[in-house]
Structures are given as C-alpha cells and as structure tokens.
Structure 1
C-alpha cells in the first residue's frame, strides 16, 4: 500500500532536524579540549569522624564558647569546611565566633536532613550556608539541583531566621560552563527566597594551582583556605550590619531661605508718569475753555461768586462759593406759588428721626379710550402750553 502525504512530510521534517543538529537544552556538553587538572597546594591528612545516624556520612559540629562581647555565626557546608572544623585553619578570632557544622560528601538533600536534626546549644546571630558543590555530580541538571537547594534553604530558615549564602569555589575537575550554570541556579533560588547570596568563585583564579590541593576539588590549607576565611569574615560582618536597625532620622525644621544676593531688574524705556493727586481747589467751568484754576479767573466772574447758606437738621451750613454763572431768568408769582405748593422751600418743619410710612407707588392709569377721557387729556395739555408761553413772555 503506498504511503500517504503525511508520512512523507514527517520523514522530511525528521531529516531537517538531523541536519540542523538540535540538542537538548541543559548542561552543555564537555568540550573535547577540556582536561582535568590537579592542584599543587598542601592539605592536612583527613581525620576520622563519627558517622551520622541520619545520612551515614561523616559529621561534625563545633560550637565555640559563649562570650559576652562576641557574635556567634554558624557555618553549614560540606568538606570545604573540614579544615575549620579540625582547627587546622583557625577562623574564630576577634569579635566573631564561628561555629562549624560539616558533613563531607553530602549533597543538598543530605545537608537539609542534618540541619533539621542538628542540636545547637546556642542561638546563632547569623547562619552562613555554603552552596553544595557535590550536586555537580549528584544531580542530573541544574534544575534538579536548584530544587534540592531551595528545600535545603527552607529547612534552614525554619530553624534559624537569619540566613545568608556564599557560593562554592570552582573545581579543577569540572568544566567552567557547567559550574557556572549551577552557580547561577543556586543564586536564583536564594534570591527567590529573599536570602543574600555572595559569590566567591572570582577570588580563586584557575591559573593559580596552589589554591587547590592535589585532588583538584578541595582548597589547600596554606593558600586557598586563608582566602576563604577572609571572605567569610567580610560577608558575615556585612550581613550583620544589614541586620542592625538604622537610627531614626530626626526631622529638622526647615530654615528660611536667605538668598546670597538680591536680583535687580533693570527696565529700559520710557518712565511711566505717576498721575497727580486730584486738587482740593475748586475749578471753574465756563464757555470757551474746559477748565480754569482759581488764579486764572477773570474779574468779571469773580464778581458773580455767591455764598450759599443751607440748613441741615437745624444746623446752618456754609457751602463753598459757586463759580457757575446763574441764568438771569425770572418766574411769575403764579408759577412760584404753584411750585411752593408742590415742593415747599422751608424745611424747618421736618424733624429728623420721625419715621414716615412708605409711599406706595401709584399705578399708572390705563389709557382712556372714551370721549370724556380724551377731552380731559386735551385740557391738561392746553394748560401746560399756556403756562409755557407765559414764562417765555415774562423772560423776554
């Protein structure tokens, strides 16, 4: 039976993948040029330790004597700490007392069990966890090693809340690319839990073979371990400084700003004239000129000045002289009588303080449309015309 089109497509895709050379993402393959090396440093002979009942690995816990002026830092790790535990390289010196919990050949899972069952008589001020370098051979890939390391850190945090980590020194028996991948994974897991992580690989250059012992894995006691001791001191002090509470910042009252110099603005151009204040003197207004000051008046106008007397609330008030020329018009006695009845000139009868009833506004009468109304309107208009003509005749 002939093959279908889908079979031919799958065969073609398989051939393309083979030619492209797709590899699994994970640990990079060891290059053909990598050669394992040995160190030239010296390391003490291994002493016999009792084995642990939990992991069947050699295990040793060293706790220094308690001091009132010193802080206690507990180190947890594998065989890199063996020289500290045996006292070959002294680490407890000065203001810090280091305790060591060492389990050689232990991976992250074994160290987690030992940390969970450890009996520490003193409460440490800080706990330093060294990254497990044995997971380079115990784990298949960095992800698996990272999961075990995260569980290990969670167990240590369960026992002691103040924890920080340091990286492991590189080995001469493994490729640098592989070790960097594990270092990055351990760093990422520690940062995920909020634990400070301090790398140390850069302080052990691979060109200096005297930093390692003859096995190419452990640091030498004469050159490598003193460097690790200094790094532990530096990172322990730095972490303890981070834990110290910062003094509260006292709020200071802000002082008034005093400028060093006062800016001066120079404006160039026409100066703006300030308007003069109004004069308190009277000014004369006459025909032909808009205004005249009193000194500029002619003699003819000075003769026409009159003083006006008036009474306000029974008090005689003298007003200023009136400079406006009066109109020499006269009114007939009949008109004066009519004006006096409408608006009396004598105001002595009016007393201040007497309340008067408000005058209601008179409503305007509607326009009369009848014949009688029109006759009354015509009579009033004719009377006004007659009065006006009399006034004109009298004035002339």
Structure 2
C-alpha cells in the first residue's frame, strides 16, 4: 500500500477521535450544559446526521476539485469547528459545531475513500479500506481513551482542543503525501454525476448499505453509552472508562485487520461467523455487565466483531458502487453514518425504560438481529466474493 494511504489514515485518526470521543465525555458535557446524558448523546447523532447529508452533497460538489486541496480544506474546517466548540458556553452552538465538523469530516472521508480505492490495486479495495479505517480503530485505542483521561483531568474542552491540534500534523502529511494532479487521468474517464447517482436504484447496493447501517447502528448505540455502564453498572472508577474504551478499540483494530484480509475475496466466512457471534455478544454483555472481568472481555470481543462485520459490509458497498468512482466513497460514508445517527437515538430511548443503562446493549442486539434476518434469505448476494459477475 502506498505511503499516501497511511497519511490519509493519520487524518482519519484525528477525525475518528472526535467522532468517538463523546462516549467518555457525555456525563461532563451534560453536567456543564445542565442537560441530561440522553440529550447530550444527541451530539453524537448530530455529527452522524451531518455526515449523512454531507457525504453525497460534498462529494458531488468536490468532483472537480483537486484532491489534495479538497482534503486539506475539509481538514482545516474540521479543526476550526473543534476550536469553536471548545470555547462555547451554549449547547445549541456546540450542537452546530458538531454539524459543521461532521460536514467537513464527510467531505474528507468521501474523497479519502474514493482516493484509497483508486490508489490501491483493483483487487485490494478491502485492504485499502482496512488501512484507512485503521485510523479510526487506533483512535478508539489511543485517541478516545486519551481524550477521556484528558477530559477527566482538565475538562472536556481540553479534548476538543487536542483534536484541533491533531489536525495540524495530518494537514502537513496531506501536503507532503498527496501529490498535486494525482489521478487526474481517472477524472477524464469518469461517468456523469447523474449516472453515478442512478446506481442508488440498484437493489444490491441498497442491500449492503442497509446492512452496514444496521451493524454500525448497533456499534454506536452501545459505544456511545458505555461510560454509565462502566461506572454505574460495573461500579468501577471513572478512569476505568478509558480502559474499557481502549479494550473496545483494540478489538476493533483486530477486527478490521482480519476483515481487511478476507473482505475482498472471502466475505462469506466473516459474515457467517461474525454475524451470529455479534448477535449473541450484545445481550451477553448486558447480562454480565456488572462483572468487571466479563465486561472487559466482552467489550474487546464486540469491538472486534463489530468492526470485522461492519468493514466487510462497507467494502461490499465500494464494490457494488464501482461504477461511481467519485461518489462510491460518499455512499459508504452515508451507510456508516446512517447507522451512527440512528444507533444513539435508539439507544437513548431505552435509557428511560426499566432497562436503564443496559438498554443500549439490548437495543444493539435487536439491531443486529434485524440485519441478520434481512441478510439470511439474501446471503448468497451479501457474501459473494469479488468477481466479474457479481460486480458488473
């Protein structure tokens, strides 16, 4: 894989830290703005909604922009939004900064996913996606727990400043690693925007997007509200939130790495094995959450399974949208973030029920069950390996 792909992953690390970091900061944000934890969780959905809307819109607008300039502009806008969020005392303004940051993130990721697929050999899209998503998984291992500790010690605003600062070396990496004019030859042969958008009527593409969204909804639904499970249900100290987040991130890195080796040609085993295990894992975590050892073990396993299954399905999106070279990344981004928006909303609704802090874990199990019920009768389509017949 080319060096430029790893430099893109470095920028994704900064953005992944922001997207996931609220899992460890929600209680403090809720306290500072005098809102409930469930209301503060809407910040995660705001970010995801901005990604959903922004991915196709910004990708379409940026079709004729130089890739290096596009990536750099999106990254600097993302940094500015976090600086604004760190100094505001208004929850609506904080909400707005999350939407702006999401739009910038969406544009960046849509362009980066498309660039990654083009930079990699034709049969290595899954590997390229794994490298790019490694920025997100490293963020869950190092960035998010580090941000949680930073927020605990210095206040949640310090974490926002840290994310803004992380963008600076990533911007330098883009300037150094993405050459001017790279891949211009691909632009001359690209189809019209209308033709690329027409692919959204393809049932196979819609199927894998829906499945990817459901799995990601389950992941975000539980991950967003892990902090209360650690401190209230398991009875652990607040600093243990960071430890649990590290374990989830380590599992996600394992999962996306394994999936990166299999998702191009053998997605079937990942889906057939990972899907049922993920389904069992969420309710098991709900039942055993009061036992710290079981909690830590299952969080690692669920991180691995969630990202293995999720990244495999998103790779299928890139293959199914191969005839949309400038928009395929936005379709994958939209699928990821429809789930990221819906998951916390579904999970937050369960917090006021008798299930309490464990409600999100049960909701995640239900979302995975729905995904498997949809996928099972269409398993030969979902699990098809890369071939000329499958990817027309």
Do they superpose with TM above 0.5? no
Using the size of structure 2 for normalisation, the TM-score is 0.26
Q: Which has the higher strand share?
A: 1
Q: Which has the higher helix share?
A: 2
Using the size of structure 1 for normalisation, the TM-score is 0.26
Give the structure, 1 or 2, with the largest relative contact order (CA under 8 Å, sep 6 or more).
2
Q: Which has the larger radius of gyration?
A: 1
